[in-house]
């Protein structure tokens, strides 16, 4: 799995910076946005639960008491280690 972090803006001069995180599994044609600073649309938790729906053990760890949007690298690592292509989770 590859993760892409897109930063838009320049905090020192514009006072804003927007981070968007995309994930892409091997074999996928397009990356999927998991994290955005936008208040519109789905939250990180909703996007991650949809994207990682093939991994119930990870989905159960997403949310208020589990992985948060700041933990996107750990989420990807968990998926790779526990729910990758050869896993039957």
HEC string of 7-59 equals: EECCHHHHCCCEEEEEEECCCCCCCEEEECCCCCCCCHHHHHHHHCCCCHHHH
| Predicted local confidence at residue 56, as pLDDT | 94
Residues 59-73: pLDDT tens digits?
999 987 889 888 888
| Predicted local confidence at residue 15, as pLDDT | 58
| Predicted local confidence at residue 37, as pLDDT | 61
Segment-wise mean pLDDT, segments of 10 residues, the chain, 89 residues: 67 61 85 71 85 93 86 90 66
| Predicted local confidence at residue 65, as pLDDT | 81
> Model pTM?
0.71
């Amino acid at each position: 799995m590859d993760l892409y972090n897109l930063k838009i803006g320049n905090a020192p001069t514009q006072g804003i910076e927007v981070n968007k995180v995309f994930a892409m599994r091997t074999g996928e044609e397009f990356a999927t946005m998991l994290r955005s600073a936008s208040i519109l649309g789905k939250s990180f938790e909703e996007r991650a639960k949809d994207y990682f729906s093939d991994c119930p053990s990870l989905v159960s760890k997403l949310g208020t008491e589990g992985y948060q949007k700041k933990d996107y690298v750990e989420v990807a690592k968990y998926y790779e280690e526990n729910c990758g292509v050869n896993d039957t989770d």
